[in-house]
Amino acid sequence: MPLASPSHILAQNFDTNDLAFKKIDEKIAALQENIRSLNAFRNTFTPSYHLPPEILTYIFSLFEKDPILPLRRRIRRGGISIQFTWLVATRVSQHWRNVALGSPGLWAYISNSYPKRVIEELLQRSKAAPLSVHLNHGRLQSVFFIGTSLPRIYNLKLIVDADTWNTFWSNLSSPAPLLESLSVSISDTSQPLPTISNSTFAGTTPSLRRLDLTGCSVDVTSSLFKELTTLRLNCPFEKISATDILTVLRGLPQLTSLALSHVFPENPTTLIPSNFNTVALPKLKSLSINGETYSQDLDFLSYLAVPAYSIQFCSTTESLTDDELVNV
């Protein structure tokens, strides 16, 4: 009988080893699955397992509000870092992961800094939950969802330039019945600015309570200026007369916070009528005015009736002489 060649013997050994490795790997996988099943069964005896899903979801949401939480998970897609702090909780157990996946509110924060496919996944996982949406400069391809999602948005924050604003302005023409907070900041006036008016959100924002506008062209008759509790206006480009602002405030008796910055014209063509009735803001707690001149600010303040305990701050870009300062 001819002797087997060394290479043949090695091949037989490799075949035997591969078969042995395969069987061992199968046993390891089976044991790991048994361990996973036993761990899952063991977890059913822990108190946290029996917490209602609503309580667990609330606990998960607190992770986002912890500014010093050392453990943070980031998903990196296409060079974009997406942070969901509460994801650390989903690594605790399969039960907690299932609760998180079944909690639409945890997936309801959307930013256009996320890639389109991530936004699509968030929209799907958030189901019908109210959305908090943050749109910043760039990545305009990721604002595709705005028009169809307006009925779901409760918090909308826009930080854009004029070009970007004009691009998706038409997407804000349908009702936003859940919208509670709107913040728009436009950084320049390289293009004509659309006016925030009654056509914005089709004039339908019954839940709006917080309005923050910077660099916008504002129609003070807009239905946005109703039922507000917080109003912040910063108008470095297009000014609003003090009389118009007072007229708006007269319709906001529930206002608790008011901030006006560079709103009034530096050289107004019309003054507040001397017979203009005082505007009462009985619930105001915070008042800040940053105008062009002290005299203009003080004149405006003289037409406001606010609680004595409200925190008031007044500043100006105007330089005062010593005599003027003493007489303020």
For range 266-276, the mean pLDDT: 75
pTM score, two decimals? 0.77
The answer to the question of residue 31 being in a domain is no
**Domain extent at residue 206:** 108-210
Q: Are 273 and 250 in contact (CB under 8 A)?
A: no
- Which of 160, 183, 210 corresponds to the end of one domain? 210
- What's the whole-number average pLDDT of the chain? 79
pLDDT tens profile 296-328: 788 888 899 998 777 666 665 555 454 544 444
For range 94-120, the mean pLDDT: 86
pLDDT for the residue numbered 64: 67
Shared domain for 93 and 112, answered yes or no, is no
The answer to the question of residue 57 being in a domain is yes
Q: Are 272 and 299 in contact (CB under 8 A)?
A: yes
Shared domain for 307 and 283, answered yes or no, is yes
The answer to the question of residue 35 being in a domain is no
* Position 72 pLDDT exceeds 90: no
The answer to the question of residue 29 being in a domain is no
- Which of 106, 131, 152 corresponds to the end of one domain? 106
> Helices marked H in the chain — which ranges?
6-43, 53-64, 94-101, 116-125, 146-149, 162-168, 242-250, 294-301, 322-327
| Of the candidate ranges 146-155, 191-200, 235-244, the one whose mean pLDDT is the lowest | 191-200
The answer to the question of residue 25 being in a domain is no
Helix and strand counts by DSSP (H, E) for the chain: 9, 15
Q: Are 203 and 224 in contact (CB under 8 A)?
A: no
Tokens of 242: 């003090």
The answer to the question of residue 285 being in a domain is yes
- Which of 106, 129, 150 corresponds to the end of one domain? 106
Local confidence band at 2 (pLDDT 50, 70, 90 cut-offs):
low
Q: How far apart are CA 49 and CA 42, in angstroms?
A: 10
Q: What is the DSSP string of 231-278?
A: EEEE-SSS---HHHHHHHHHT-TT--EEEEES-S-SS-SSPPPTTPPP
pLDDT for the residue numbered 14: 57
pLDDT tens profile 189-209: 656 666 787 888 988 999 999
* Position 112 pLDDT exceeds 70: yes
Shared domain for 302 and 245, answered yes or no, is yes
Name the percent of the chain lying above pLDDT 90.
Answer: 26
The answer to the question of residue 171 being in a domain is yes
CB neighbourhood size of 9 (10 A): 11
The answer to the question of residue 41 being in a domain is no
The DSSP symbol for 221 reads: T
Radius of gyration of the chain (CA): 30
Q: Are 105 and 61 in contact (CB under 8 A)?
A: yes
Quote the number of domains for the chain: 3
pLDDT for the residue numbered 126: 92
Shared domain for 269 and 200, answered yes or no, is no
pLDDT for the residue numbered 311: 67
* Position 71 pLDDT exceeds 60: no
